[in-house]
Amino acid sequence: MQLTPQTRIGDIAARYPLATRVFARHDIDFCCGGGRPLEDVCDERGLSTAEVLEEVRRSTSDEEPSERRWDQAPAASLVRHLVDDHHEPLRTELPRLETMARKVVRAHGSRDPERLGALLDTIVRLREELEAHMQVEERELFPAILADGPIRDDLLGSLTAEHSETGAALERLRQLTDGYRVPEGACTTWRALWHGLAALETSLHRHVHLENNVLFARLGDTA
């Protein structure tokens, strides 16, 4: 792939997995915003497109052999990876984060009631939406892909829109946690919650990228 200012962010991330580290460093959305040209996003964020491109090129020269090129993998392998390495861990992690958030609100809610209350509400809503979203994928989309069968016309559009809602929820969590900076005097649970939410953001960005920019893009190309 020839990298230019007009190359779409999602295409770069799909072709060069380590480029996602560059995008994360500059807070560039490579999952829900993956359809935008790199130049447009850099201009919007006040970044030098040439410098970001050079960082991406350096990252591609150091591409690790163990970094799987999911854009080249069979669809069945990608589906199994999404279920085993993203969906299943979420089913454990989301309840854990909600439980910790409830403990923090009970113990420290009076310290910052508005922010901590909004944080808990966002986590609960995100869990409900993701669990429903994953059910639709596993009961309808993924079986159709594995069977090489037809996919409902509006399904990919609906799932992509839900990904955008997930992205908005993650941005809300980042704002409410002040970029996951642990507050002074925070207890162990509070610290663990902040670290867990930061890890959730990283994982979900990767998760949504693989679906939007790799799997769904492939299905769109064959439609």
pLDDT in tens, 146-204: 999 999 989 999 999 999 999 999 999 999 999 999 888 888 999 999 999 999 999 99
In degrees to the nearest 10, what's the CA dihedral of 60, 201, 207, 171? -100
Distance CA 62, CA 60 (A): 5
Q: Using CA of residue 55, residue 58, residue 60, residue 63, what is the dihedral sign?
A: negative
DSSP assignments along 73-139, one per residue = S-HHHHHHHHIIIIIHHHHHHHHHHHHHHHHHHHHHTTTSHHHHHHHHHHHHHHHHHHHHHHHHIII
Which of these, 177, 169, 172, lies nearest to 100 by C-alpha position?
Answer: 177
Compare 27 and 215 and report the one with higher pLDDT: 215
Most confident of 17-26, 181-190, 200-209: 200-209
Q: Using an 8 Å Cβ cutoff, are 82 and 207 in contact? A: yes
Record the tokens describing residue 74, joined without a space: 């069979």
pLDDT at residue 64 in the model: 54
Instruction: Break the chain into its structural domains and give their ranges.
Output: 9-61, 75-222
pLDDT in tens, 119-133: 999 999 999 999 999
Which of these, 157, 134, 147, lies nearest to 220 by C-alpha position?
Answer: 157
> Phi/psi zone of residue 150: left (φ > 0), alpha (ψ -120 to 50 degrees), beta?
beta
User: How long is the chain?
Assistant: 223
pLDDT at residue 221 in the model: 63
